[in-house]
Amino acid sequence: MTELLLNEAIYQRIIADLVPQAQKFLWIVTADIKDLHVGKGLKGKKQRFVPFLEILSDLVQQGVAIRLMHAKEPGPRFRKDFDKYPALIESDLFERILCPRIHTKAIIIDGKSAFITSANLTGAGLGAKSPDKRNFEAGILTDEKQHIAPLIEWIDSLYLGDHCLKCQRRKFCPDPIA
């Protein structure tokens, strides 16, 4: 199955429906990372809006391993919110790396679903903003192994720093992986 998602459908299908269902691992790759709020609560009941970091913290506390890879320092509100979630700071299940060359935007859930998108991990990109305030975004959701397997392998090589030693942008990297 391959599914095209546009605009607010991205939020509903990926952020509201699939991400909270992760059971083993969740990998998020993004160029930009800012404050992002999402609905939390049972369907059919009034939801409250919380930082996306709360959803990630809940997943870590449930035993889900999370990798967050991004290209630049998060925005100030994201950094302030981050400190409110000790599970993200203290758990070995949460890993975060910064690589200035990352421009990919992808989310992999349990190795079973992959979402490749134009949207960054921001409120205007993936958040619960109204259609009149959000960015115009597109993405492809797939469960096809022939697409997911090489994407996982490639993201893993980035995460492990396989490209770091020969990177010609290394002098601009605030925290080289290798």
Mean per-residue pLDDT for 104-122? 97
What are 53-99's pLDDT values in tens digits?
999 999 999 999 999 999 988 988 898 999 999 999 999 999 999 99
Is it the case that residue 101 has pLDDT exceeding 80? yes
pLDDT of residue 48: 87
d(CA 128, CA 8): 8
pLDDT of residue 127: 85
Percent of the chain with pLDDT over 70: 98
pLDDT of residue 130: 84
pLDDT of residue 56: 98
What are 126-147's pLDDT values in tens digits?
988 888 989 999 999 999 999 9
Q: Which of 121, 25, 14 has its CA nearest to residue 71?
A: 121
Q: Model-level pTM?
A: 0.94
pLDDT of residue 95: 96
**In Å, how far are 10, 59, 92, 103 from 121, measured between CA atoms?**
12, 17, 22, 12
Looking only at the bridges linking them, the beta strands covering 113-117 and 106-109 are: antiparallel
d(CA 22, CA 134): 25
Q: Does domain 2-172 have CATH number 3.90.79.10?
A: no
What are 9-58's pLDDT values in tens digits?
999 999 999 999 999 999 999 999 998 999 987 666 677 889 999 999 99
